Structure 1
Amino acid sequence: MNLFTTTLPALAAVAALVFTWISVVQVSDELTISEQGQIADRYDTAVEKLVDDSTDVRRGAIYSMQSIMTDSPRMQPAVIDMLSKYIRDRATKNLKTTEKSPDIQAALYALGNRNPSHDANAVIDLRGAHLVEAKLEGMNLSNADLRGTVVSGANAEKAVLSGARLEQAVVKGTNLTGADLSDAKASEADLKKAVMAGADLAHADVEQADLRDADLTGADLSGVDMAGANLEGAYLAEVRWNDTNLAGVRRPEGDLPDDMSSRTAQPPRSQATNASQ
Structure 2
Amino acid sequence: MEIVALLAIICAGIAGWLIYFLVVDDRVDNAAEAIKTTLAILTLVGAVLAGVYAYRKQRIAESDAHRADANQFADRYTTAAEQLGHDKAAVRLAGAYALARLADDWEEQRQVCIDVLCAYLRMPYQPEPDPDAPGHKEGEREVRHTIIRLIGNHLRLPAEHRHSWQGLDFDFTEATFDAGDLSGAVFSGGKVSFNRAVFSGSSEVDYTGAKVSFSKAKFSGAEVDFSGAEFSGGSVYFYKAEFSSAKVDFSKAKFSGAEVDFSYTEFSGSTLYFTSAEFSGGSVDFSGAKFSDGNVDFHKAEFSGAKVNFTVAEFTGSTLYFTFAEFPGSNEVDFTGAEVDFSRAVFSGGEIYFRSAKFSGAKIDFSGAKFSGSKVNLSAQFSGGSVNFYEAEFSDGTVGFTGAVFSGAEVGFSGAKFSGSKVNLDAFFIGVKADFSRAVFSGGTVDFNNAVFSGRTVDFSGAEVGFSGAVFSGSTVDFTGAVFSGGFLDLRDVSSWATPPRFHDQVLGHPPAGLLLPSPTAG
TM-score normalised by the chain length of structure 2: 0.45
Equivalence for 2:159: none
Equivalence for 1:149: 197
38, 51, 64: which is aligned to 2:85? 51
Per-residue CA distance 1:97-151 (angstroms, 9 max, x = gap): xx971211122233342534674xxx42222222112223223566222111123
Post-superposition offset of 1:90: 4.5
Which protein is richer in strand relative to its size?
Answer: 2
When residues 210 and 197 of structure 1 are mapped into structure 2, their CA distance, relative to the original with a 3 A threshold, is farther
Q: How many residues align?
A: 265
139-148 vs 9-18, which deviates more? 139-148
Post-superposition offset of 1:58: 0.4
Aligned amino acid, residue 156 of structure 1: F
Q: Quick check: 1:236–1:267 contact (8 Å CA) kept in 2?
A: no
- Residue 268 of structure 1 pairs with residue 367 of structure 2: yes
- Residue 133 of structure 1 pairs with residue 208 of structure 2: no
When residues 243 and 56 of structure 1 are mapped into structure 2, their CA distance, relative to the original with a 3 A threshold, is same
Q: Which runs of 5+ in 1 are unaligned?
A: 272-277
Aligned amino acid, residue 135 of structure 1: D
| Cα separation, 2, equivalents of 1:164 and 1:17 | 54
Partner of 2:111, secondary structure, is helix
165, 168, 188: which is aligned to 2:252? 188
Post-superposition offset of 1:253: 5.3
Equivalence for 1:225: 297
Aligned amino acid, residue 192 of structure 2: A
Aligned amino acid, residue 103 of structure 1: V
Equivalence for 2:310: 236
Partner of 1:174, secondary structure, is strand
Aligned amino acid, residue 165 of structure 1: D
Per-residue CA distance 1:198-242 (angstroms, 9 max, x = gap): 224521222233566322122244223232346763221332433
| Cα separation, 1, equivalents of 2:341 and 2:83 | 57
| Cα separation, 1, equivalents of 2:105 and 2:38 | 52
When residues 237 and 252 of structure 1 are mapped into structure 2, their CA distance, relative to the original with a 3 A threshold, is closer
239, 256, 271: which is aligned to 1:203? 271
Q: Which runs of 5+ in 2 are unaligned?
A: 1-32, 131-138, 156-163, 200-209, 324-332, 353-363, 369-387, 389-523
Q: Quick check: 2:166–2:186 contact (8 Å CA) kept in 1?
A: no
When residues 118 and 193 of structure 1 are mapped into structure 2, their CA distance, relative to the original with a 3 A threshold, is closer
Aligned amino acid, residue 206 of structure 1: F
Partner of 2:295, secondary structure, is coil
Partner of 2:99, secondary structure, is helix
Aligned amino acid, residue 349 of structure 2: S
When residues 107 and 31 of structure 1 are mapped into structure 2, their CA distance, relative to the original with a 3 A threshold, is same
State the percentage of identical aligned residues.
Answer: 17
When residues 228 and 118 of structure 1 are mapped into structure 2, their CA distance, relative to the original with a 3 A threshold, is closer
Which protein is richer in helix relative to its size?
Answer: 1
Partner of 1:268, secondary structure, is coil
Equivalence for 2:237: 175
When residues 104 and 44 of structure 1 are mapped into structure 2, their CA distance, relative to the original with a 3 A threshold, is same
When residues 175 and 83 of structure 1 are mapped into structure 2, their CA distance, relative to the original with a 3 A threshold, is same
Based on CA coordinates, which of the two structures has the bigger radius of gyration?
A: 2
RMSD: 3.4
Q: Quick check: 2:318–2:351 contact (8 Å CA) kept in 1?
A: no
* Greater relative contact order structure (CA < 8 Å, 6+ sep): 1
Partner of 2:307, secondary structure, is coil
Aligned amino acid, residue 145 of structure 1: S
Q: Quick check: 2:308–2:339 contact (8 Å CA) kept in 1?
A: no
Equivalence for 1:67: 101
Q: Quick check: 2:341–2:365 contact (8 Å CA) kept in 1?
A: no
45-54 vs 230-239, which deviates more? 230-239
Partner of 2:260, secondary structure, is coil
123, 129, 133: which is aligned to 1:89? 123
- Residue 163 of structure 1 pairs with residue 211 of structure 2: no
When residues 197 and 177 of structure 1 are mapped into structure 2, their CA distance, relative to the original with a 3 A threshold, is same
Aligned amino acid, residue 88 of structure 1: R
Q: Quick check: 2:320–2:351 contact (8 Å CA) kept in 1?
A: no
Post-superposition offset of 1:260: 7.5
Partner of 1:18, secondary structure, is helix
Post-superposition offset of 1:93: 5.7
| Cα separation, 1, equivalents of 2:285 and 2:44 | 78
Post-superposition offset of 1:32: 1.0
Instruction: Show the 5 A alignment for 1:1-16.
Output: 1-2=33-34, 3-16=37-50
| Cα separation, 1, equivalents of 2:253 and 2:122 | 19
Post-superposition offset of 1:154: 2.1
When residues 255 and 155 of structure 1 are mapped into structure 2, their CA distance, relative to the original with a 3 A threshold, is closer
- Residue 103 of structure 1 pairs with residue 165 of structure 2: no
Aligned amino acid, residue 147 of structure 2: A
278, 284, 288: which is aligned to 1:214? 284
